[in-house]
Amino acid sequence: MKISIYGTGIVGKVLGKAYAERGHAVVMGTRDPNSPNSQAAALAAGVPLLSFAEAAAVGEVIILATKWDGGATENAINMAGAAAFAGKIVIDAVNPLRFTATGLDLTVGTTDSAGEQIQRLLPAAHVVKAFNMIGAGHMVNPTFVGGDPDMYICGNDDAAKATVRGLIAELGWRSIIDMGDIRASRMLEVLAQLWIVQGMRTGKWMHAFKLLQQ
Ligand SMILES: NC(=O)c1ccc[n+]([C@@H]2O[C@H](COP(=O)([O-])OP(=O)(O)OC[C@H]3O[C@@H](n4cnc5c(N)ncnc54)[C@H](OP(=O)(O)O)[C@@H]3O)[C@@H](O)[C@H]2O)c1
């Protein structure tokens, strides 16, 4: 598939590299393709670097891996315009976090979420929340002594979720659980916060979630 990675941080780098290695036509988007940091990220992923607008235009699937604070994700989306996302699958890995004196805090929640806000910004796109509740270091071939971790997804469009499920499975995930429509982002974003709290508390970042079922 044509996959556009929207963001040059660690998440963009990890997912860009992984999908390129699996034979997808991957590009990475950034605010300034001449920025040395963005160029280094694309080089590390082994994919071409484009502007956000160019990346949105070419992707069949767009993976949002942008910062949230300060309106960064909305700004990045606006650099392409909502029309560029129309009819496409948008995988939303974003967490609405902000650094505070006490750590990383959620800035949206309980009655709304970043996932819902992104779906409202992109009404003609099929937004699927995924990857947000696991650290970048475990997004590909996750291996834990406790067993297979879960990847939780949610979104309004079943066909889009089926495609995203396949893309996640390509990265070695064996337990992918659909939590319903995009409103479940409220809970998936809280889970990300819990993942961070556990990391800060223990100083270790080697954990993931598992829903035990009978
Ligand atoms: N790090 C993790 O392990 C992890 C795990 C799960 C989910 N997440 C979530 O995934 C997202 C990406 O995280 P990350 O750690 O890879 O990188 P990040 O530092 O949170 O975001 C990097 C990207 O945000 C863009 N950006 C920053 N400020 C911007 C602005 N004002 N306008 C437009 N774009 C802006 C940057 O653009 P340029 O390319 O132009 O610099 C860059 O592409 C975040 O929402 C994060 O919460 C992170």
To 10 degrees, the CA torsion angle through 136, 139, 142, 148?
Answer: 120
Pocket lining: 6 vs ligand 1, CB cutoff 6 Å? no
C-alpha to C-alpha distance for 36 and 49, rounded to whole angstroms: 11
The residue type found at 155 is G
**Any residues with CB less than 8 A from the CB of 19 and at least 6 apart, and which?**
3, 5, 26, 167, 170
Kindly indicate the confidence band of residue 16, based on its pLDDT and cuts at 50, 70 and 90. Answer: very high
**CATH 3.40.50.720 is the classification of domain 2-202:** yes
Q: For atom 45 of ligand 1, which residue has the closest CA?
A: 94
User: Which pair of tokens denotes residue 155?
Assistant: 């979104």
Look up the pTM and report it.
0.98
In the chain, domain spans: 2-202
- Asked whether 163 lines ligand 1 (CB < 6 A), one says no
pLDDT band at 101 (very low <50, low <70, confident <90, very high): confident
Nearest to 56 by CA among 140, 121, 113: 121
* Tens of pLDDT, residues 137-176: 999 999 999 999 999 999 999 999 999 999 999 999 999 9
- What is the residue type of 61? V
Collapse the DSSP code of 15 into the 3-class scheme (helix H, G, I; strand E, B; otherwise coil) and give the result: helix
Is pLDDT at 104 greater than 90 in this prediction? no
pLDDT of residue 41: 98
Quote the pLDDT of residue 119: 98
The residue whose C-alpha atom lies closest to atom 32 belonging to ligand 1 is 72
Residue with tokens 């994919």, as numbered in its chain: 47
Q: Rounded mean pLDDT of 37-46?
A: 98
Please give the pLDDT value at position 70. 96
- Dist CA 90 CA 150 (whole Å): 20
